[in-house]
Amino acid sequence: MAVAVRPGQKLTVDEVCDELQIARSTFYDWRQKGRGPRCIRLPNGSLRIRRSDFENWLMDCEDAS
């Protein structure tokens, strides 16, 4: 399914996990180890990931493999 990408789009942790087909615990483990995509912490404590940061992180993962 194609997803429309808006400039400056921010993803939730659940959206990132769904796209990668990983558990939330895996995302938070990667984040704790400094291996996950860059995140923005909102004033309410929730996290968002810029689509551009996520895409760049994925490309870096491809280069590393």
CB distance 10 to 51 below 8 Å: yes
How far apart, in whole angstroms, are the C-alpha atoms of residue 42 and residue 11?
Answer: 12
Please, which pLDDT band fits residue 8 given cuts at 50, 70 and 90?
confident
Render pLDDT for 9-20 as a digit per residue (tens, 0 to 9).
999 999 999 999
Spell out the domain ranges in the chain. 10-64
Tell me the sheet residues that pair with 41.
Answer: 47
| Predicted TM-score of the model (pTM) | 0.83
Map residue 36 onto helix, strand or coil.
coil
How far apart, in whole angstroms, are the C-alpha atoms of residue 33 and residue 30?
Answer: 5
CB distance 12 to 19 below 8 Å: no
